[in-house]
């Protein structure tokens, strides 16, 4: 009976851990930086960390802000959690059409212009 309770408790704990990881993967990330466009890619380069993110979606709005400093809010696409993105050792660089090294794909939910020109 004790073994059955221990197994049940372990299953409940592992389910809660999986739920916590899944909900963390959906938490929004804000990137403040310069927006550029090359080929089919829109890329924002974070002005604090220097890291670049390929942006997914909202192309009509992104097009209007190329060359501007923007604040992008979105979620990391492809199953990475934001904690993975914040850990440099965990990142895998991938190239894009502009030759920039990007640290992930960011699914855009909001775009806000900070400045009409980039300060970088």
Total count of domains within the chain: 1
Cross-strand bridge partners of residue 107: 56, 75
CATH of the domain at 92: 2.40.50
Question: Within a domain: residue 77?
Answer: yes
pLDDT of residue 38: 84
| Segments forming the whole domain that contains residue 55 | 29-115
Q: Is the dihedral of CA 64, 114, 106, 89 positive or negative?
A: positive
pLDDT under 50: residue ranges of the chain: 7, 16-19, 23, 79-99
Structure confidence at residue 117 (pLDDT): 92
Instruction: Determine contact, residues 29/78, Cβ cutoff 8 Å.
Output: no
Asked whether residue 76 is domain-assigned, the answer is: yes
Cα separation, 1 vs 5, whole angstroms: 6
Residue 103 and residue 33: Cα distance in Å, rounded?
Answer: 14
How much is the pLDDT for 65? 94
């Amino acid at each position: 009976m004790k073994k059955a309770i221990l197994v049940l408790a372990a299953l409940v704990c592992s389910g809660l851990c999986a739920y916590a990881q899944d909900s963390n993967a959906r938490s929004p990330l804000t990137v403040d930086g310069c927006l550029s466009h090359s080929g089919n890619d829109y890329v924002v380069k974070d002005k604090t960390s220097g890291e670049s993110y390929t942006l997914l979606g909202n192309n009509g709005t992104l097009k209007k802000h190329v060359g501007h400093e923007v604040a992008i809010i979105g979620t990391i696409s492809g199953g990475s959690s934001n904690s993975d993105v914040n850990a440099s050792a965990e990142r895998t660089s991938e190239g894009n059409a502009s030759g920039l090294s990007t640290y992930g794909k960011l699914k855009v939910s909001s775009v806000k212009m900070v400045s009409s020109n980039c300060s970088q």
